Chains A and B, each alone.
Chain A
Amino acid sequence: DGGITQSPKYLFRKEGQNVTLSCEQNLNHDAMYWYRQDPGQGLRLIYYSQIVNDFQKGDIAEGYSVSREKKESFPLTVTSAQKNPTAFYLCASSIVGQGRQPQHFGDGTRLSIL
């Protein structure tokens, strides 16, 4: 079955540590996205990428970094510069260039501070 796989499901970060969240899709979608979800709030866009080797900052990119070396993969690194990283992180993908299309989401990674 095609879909988006995020790992790990739960992640703990120590002070001063960088952690990387994995996102892989086999839907052959061009675009991929990272969102942060906090309780009672809408999804906030961190980074997105429309094509391989290219990505753009979203609304809350500070303290995060991404790479897009392969179409299928869009890992997110939460750096030590992100002072409030505790949240639920969601990866999504979508078709681009065929009119408006919905995003498809993975099942998220919950990041907590030790």
Chain B
Amino acid sequence: GESVGLHLPTLSVQEGDNSIINCAYSNSASDYFIWYKQESGKGPQFIIDIRSNMDKRQGQRVTVLLNKTVKHLSLQIAATQPGDSAVYFCAEIGAGGSYIPTFGRGTSLIVHP
């Protein structure tokens, strides 16, 4: 089927390497950020989130870093595996009463065995 990764920025890594996927967000008032993983033909899967009162949060093999000064978010995946191959995209939610996220276009991660 048609790939959601078509025409997206692509990051190619070797199995076992660490991967870093970046996201520049648009709204300086955003106070909640989410990373999703989307495999071909499937819906996005929640990976990790971070609130604006933090600059780092760790999960299992993943770390999210938030730099509010330059409006930059990154997802680090340790010891990348072939099963990590997917499109990764970030989402931001503004402060106040909003709960509707704005989604980035995503980055296609390709892990070579």
Contacts and interface: CB of A to CB of B under 8 A. Distances in A.
A104 to B, nearest CB: 7
Contacts of A94: 99
Interface string B86-113: 0001010100000111111110000000
A107 B43 contact: yes
B4 A104 contact: no
Q: Which residue of B4, B7, B36, B104 has the most chain A CB atoms within 10 A of its CB atom? A: B4
A102 B49 contact: yes
B70 interface: no
Contacts of A37: 4
Given A100-B51, A102-B49, A108-B43, A40 B6 contact: yes
Contact-residue size bin, chain A (C-beta under 8 Å from the other chain): 20 to 34
Contacts, number: 64
Contact of B44 (A6, A48, A105): A105
A70 B51 CA distance: 32
Interface string A33-74: 100010111110100100000000010000000000000000
Nearest to A108: B43
Interface string A67-105: 000000000000000000000101010101000111111
Interface in B30-62: 31-32, 34, 36, 41-46, 49, 51
A18 B83 CA distance: 38
Interface of B: 1-8, 31-32, 34, 36, 41-46, 49, 51, 89, 91, 93, 99-106
Given A37-B4, A39-B7, A40-B5, 17 more contacts: A6-B43, A39-B4, A40-B6, A42-B106, A90-B43, A100-B31, A100-B32, A100-B49, A100-B51, A100-B93, A101-B99, A103-B46, A104-B46, A105-B43, A107-B43, A108-B42, A110-B1
